[in-house]
Amino acid sequence: MSHGSNSNDPSGGVVSTRTMEMAVALALMVVGAIVMIASLRLGAGWSPSIGPQSGYFPFYVSLIMFLASGAMPLARYRAAGLVVGILASVWVVYTRYVKRYW
């Protein structure tokens, strides 16, 4: 007898594995976006006289987190509509916050 869970078995749990993967990926994307916006407010640039500003490293760490979390839904669902929607949302965040604060 096997006591392990099978992700293909729909009767194995309340929520499917795919649903939880998507929920965690979206939650990490939200956290990454919040940290990026907060670090842009602190200053995420590079000052020639003193080096990195206080939000420089948190911005890039959260950007990597955002992109890595976004890769899972893109890999799971390769539908063109979803890819365009995610790219459009990244563009909106970039144009509203990155260009404004950087």
C-beta neighbour count of 56 within 10 angstroms: 17
pTM above the 0.75 mark? Answer: no
Asked if pLDDT for residue 98 goes beyond 70, the answer is no
Q: Report the 10 Å Cβ neighbour count for 64.
A: 11
- CB-based contacts of 86: which residues, under 8 Å, 6+ apart? 70, 73, 74
Give CA–CA dist 41/98, Å, rounded. 10
Secondary structure percentages of the chain, helix, strand, coil, to 5:
70, 5, 30
- C-alpha neighbours within 13 Å on the C-beta side of residue 72: 17
pLDDT above 70 (res 102)? no
- CA–CA distances in Å: residue 94 to residues 19, 88, 91: 28, 10, 5
Contact 57, 80 (CB under 8 A): no
Q: Which residue has the higher pLDDT, 5 or 56?
A: 56
The residue-averaged pLDDT of 24-46 equals 89
Structure tokens at 57: 């490293």
- Stretch 54-72: mean pLDDT: 87
pLDDT band for 23, please (50, 70, 90 cuts).
confident
